[in-house]
Structure formats: structure tokens, C-alpha cells
């Protein structure tokens, strides 16, 4: 991953909605709302993942939606996880928003496997009372 692409990831707000409340994650920062959600759901990990734009190659919106629907179906098949819809948005608006999912309760290995399956460069990983980090896959 080149430096410019890495900077786009770092300059992105990763938001998701829970019960009409928006929670926004930023890389390198802790998030009290995420921690409270973990406490409520009995989870300690979360990941922000999408199937949009594999290998950061822009695809037509209908293709991205089809890929994300496949990912959503796959996530629904995994027991014991909690999934919330969201979006990753570059704060400088130099990259189009990507519909995404915040998934709580998956192992890091499972998340990395999913990201590779959907040809993603990276994913956002966050643990209870820790800062969100970018994991390159």
C-alpha cells in the first residue's frame, strides 16, 4: 500500500449507526461510545469492513452494492456477532464514500480472512478501551 493510499485511510471517518445513534471511529483514537456498545453487547472486539472497491480499484456502484450484499449475507451466517451498517468517508472527500459494516464479536483471524476474500487492502480493527487501528491484509 503506497503512502498516499495509507493517508486516505488515516483521513477517513468510519461511522456506523446503532439505535439511531451514529458512532464515528477514527484511526489512532479510542471511542467511548464503542466501549459502551461493547459493554452492552458483551463483546470486546470490532471491525469495520466493506466489500467495495477491491484493491482500491473503483467499481461501478451496482457492482459494489452486489459485493457488499454478498458480504452482508456471509456476516449473517456467522453466529454470535453483531453487525451494524455504516460508511467510510474520506474527510477531504477525495475518495467516494464506501458502504461498510461494523461487526462486533469476530476474531482478528476471521476478519482478515474475510477482508482477503473480498480483496480489501486493509480493515479497521478496534478493541474495548483501545484505539482503532488499521490492519493491512
pLDDT tens by residue, the chain, 137 residues: 788 888 889 999 999 999 999 999 999 999 999 999 999 999 999 999 999 999 999 999 999 999 999 999 999 999 999 999 999 999 998 888 999 999 999 999 999 999 999 999 999 999 999 999 999 99
Separation CA 87–CA 90 (nearest Å): 10
The three cell numbers of residue 54 are: 477491491
Separation CA 29–CA 124 (nearest Å): 12
The three cell numbers of residue 111 are: 476478519
Confirm if 106 and 38 have CB atoms less than 8 A apart.
Answer: no
Amino acid at each position: 500500500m503506497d503512502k498516499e493510499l495509507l493517508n486516505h485511510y488515516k483521513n477517513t471517518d468510519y461511522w456506523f449507526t446503532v439505535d439511531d445513534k451514529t458512532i464515528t471511529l477514527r484511526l489512532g483514537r479510542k471511542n467511548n461510545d464503542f466501549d459502551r456498545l461493547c459493554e452492552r453487547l458483551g463483546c470486546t472486539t470490532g471491525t469495520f469492513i466493506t466489500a467495495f472497491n477491491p484493491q482500491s480499484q473503483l467499481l461501478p456502484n451496482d457492482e459494489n452494492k452486489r459485493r457488499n450484499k454478498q458480504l452482508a449475507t456471509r456476516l449473517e451466517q456467522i453466529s454470535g456477532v453483531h453487525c451494524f451498517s455504516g460508511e467510510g468517508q474520506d474527510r477531504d472527500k477525495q475518495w467516494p464514500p464506501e458502504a461498510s459494516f461494523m461487526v462486533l464479536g469476530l476474531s482478528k483471524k476471521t476478519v482478515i480472512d474475510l477482508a482477503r476474500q473480498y480483496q480489501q487492502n486493509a480493515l479497521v480493527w478496534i478493541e474495548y478501551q483501545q484505539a482503532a487501528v488499521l490492519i493491512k491484509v
